[in-house]
Structure 1
Amino acid sequence: MAIKLPENVTIIEVGPRDGLQNEKGFVPTEVKGQFIHALRDSGIREMELTSFVSPKWVPQMADAAEIVSACYDAPGRSIVLAPNKKGIERLEETNCRAVAVFVGVSNTFNKKNINKTTAESMEELRPLIADLKEKGYFVRACISTAWHCPYEGKIPEADTLRLCADFAEAGVDELSVADTIGMAVPTEAHSLFAQLKAIIPGILLTAHFHDTRKLALANILASMQAGIDRFDTSAGGLGGCPFAPGATGNVATEDVVYMLERMGIKTGIALDRLMDAVEIVRPHVSRPIESTYFNMHASAGA
């Protein structure tokens, strides 16, 4: 019996934002810009560029306005995270037309992240989302701790489904559903996405897996079997969350692209150019690049 899989998959590159936000040493703005342009040269057409967040809490994003100014004007969709009213006001001063907001399903995670419960966050975001949609913005909602939380443990599936439905009702264009600490297994990934496809069929659904326990590729396969054809990935496997102890990087873009292309699923991304992008940022990050494809590629060229 043939496995039902998509013919094409869209990769949303999150390296410049989610991949770098946890770096303690400041990555120079010029390097970030070179990284972004090289990623685009590889064929990536959707990307999270940066975040309008407090530099006190996320110092790496202190140059967000400069990044948007230098890197926004390109084909495809460039997304900026703006998690609250102040961030959205800063966003509206730029030419950016795609915004990401986020809420954790876990109340504890949400409180540690943005000092609000999940319900309080949604109450604040609903009118902001409505205003953004009225002004013609593309709105992406990032759902953190969709399966497991570092503080509360396993998240009831019904809670994640409810929050996703609330965002859909609020009018967002896309849901990025995140395995923030990399604890989901393929059966959990398939179950959640199959139900989301059934209850909110008219919205873009994107899977976001961290590779903490080396299950991200398996979860991507399970998600594709549930009908998902959009995935957040990070070049070089960069990433982690300042508010999620133990979380490692996002699944590496190059590992995902290699697997998909070998399976005959088109991504439109050139692996050799993707490796060039990783080489740009590699000297400026604190931990080694962990992606399998990158390290095999580097060894072969040595």
Structure 2
Amino acid sequence: MSEHIIEMAKALVKVKDGMIEVLIKPTIRHCPLRNDLYGFEEENHKTVEKVLRRHIEEFGMYGPNRVLESDQKPVSFGASEIIVDAMTEGLVDAAVVVCEGAGTVIITRPEVLQAVGAHMTGLISTEPIKEIQDGLKQKGCLLLDKQCTIDQVEGYIMAVEAGFRKIVVTITGHKASEAKRLQELGEISGVKPVVVSVHNTGISVEEAETLSDYCDIVWACASKQVREIVGKRSKLQIGISIPVFGMTQAGKQLILNRALHFEDGLIIHRASLPYTPIEKQPEPLM
């Protein structure tokens, strides 16, 4: 028996023992990325339910039969795809991420990272699922604890203590202060993390300022503040409808490494950033 609270399309959702309950309906009306992935032109509580049901049925998410290895890359410039390619090239040796049923996890194998991260979205809280925890451990992962604590700063500390030196840490925009703390700890330990911020819809001006100061890569999601504050300070943008902003040389390296591995065509040219044609953005920007 386990309960998981997540955000999807800015809807608040509870998944408990395979049952899905939309607690607060989505405030995002249209997301180009979700439209491409799932074919929904307009979001509502039914679309959220359908996507989560698909995740449960196809990938075993939120249950004991969760898929823990994958080589599929459904998102062109998603966080897991960028980190997986960096791990494959030896630019990263450990990623501190979150997984339902496990909480904060340190992953070292690309195929495991892709399975965990490809469809994970806005995990707020989660409860233990023994099969997921055991499966991750069997695949060489480190778990912060058995209680499913989500604490990315402590996850980074554990990764450093385990001997890793090229560490990526994912955070969410509403926990922007973690980015500052991670960089401070990197200065102390001599192991500078690459900090990437995902799930940024609805963040404040202050949070966007913090992300721009302390993150290496930031996903725009449906955030007006990220586009206006982070985007203007970025050094590189990849993607248009859901821009991904590289803020540092380390961030640029990981993004360009993903471009190197990307099999479809790309155009790279000089531009003032951000480049966000209004007709291609999510609605509404928050």
Give the alignment's TM-score, normalised by structure 2.
0.41
Q: Which of the pair is proportionally richer in helix?
A: 1
Query: Which protein, 1 or 2, shows the higher relative CO under an 8 Å CA cutoff with sep ≥ 6?
Result: 1
Give the alignment's TM-score, normalised by structure 1.
0.39
